[in-house]
Amino acid sequence: MTVQGEDGFAATYREARGKFIEAAQAAGLAVESRVHPERGRDGEELAMDVVRDGHPNAPAVLLVTSACHGIEGYCGSGVQVAALRDASWRARARERGVAVVYLHALNPWGVIKNG
């Protein structure tokens, strides 16, 4: 996978989440959102978004997370967006029997708090 440019990276949680969802949908993948009970500091919805790419019974699964601790959420989100936009990388994973699960903003409140 090659990350080209900075257009996958974001300066705000809302922007990062939007780019992640847009990249997943453009790849034809469903997004499952687990909404946080609290709103962000600017009133935005906070959620942990999950996307699965690959066969449901794939013999191997790669879990790609972002924002476990919050502060690294912007960088991790950018990497996830780049991976979702890279059709060649995604195809190679599937060909090798690997399903990829993207877990965006494991800790959405931490992203907002540290952003």
pLDDT digits (tens, 9 = 90+) for 32-83: 999 999 999 889 999 999 999 999 999 999 999 999 988 899 999 999 999 9
Question: Sign of the C-alpha dihedral, residues 63, 66, 72, 74?
Answer: positive
Provide the token pair at 37: 């009970």
Angstrom distance (rounded) from CA 106 to CA 69: 8
Quickly state the pLDDT bin for 112 (edges 50, 70, 90): confident
Domain chopping of the chain, boundaries: 13-114
Average pLDDT, the chain: 93
Angstrom distance (rounded) from CA 110 to CA 107: 5
Q: What is the pTM of this model?
A: 0.92
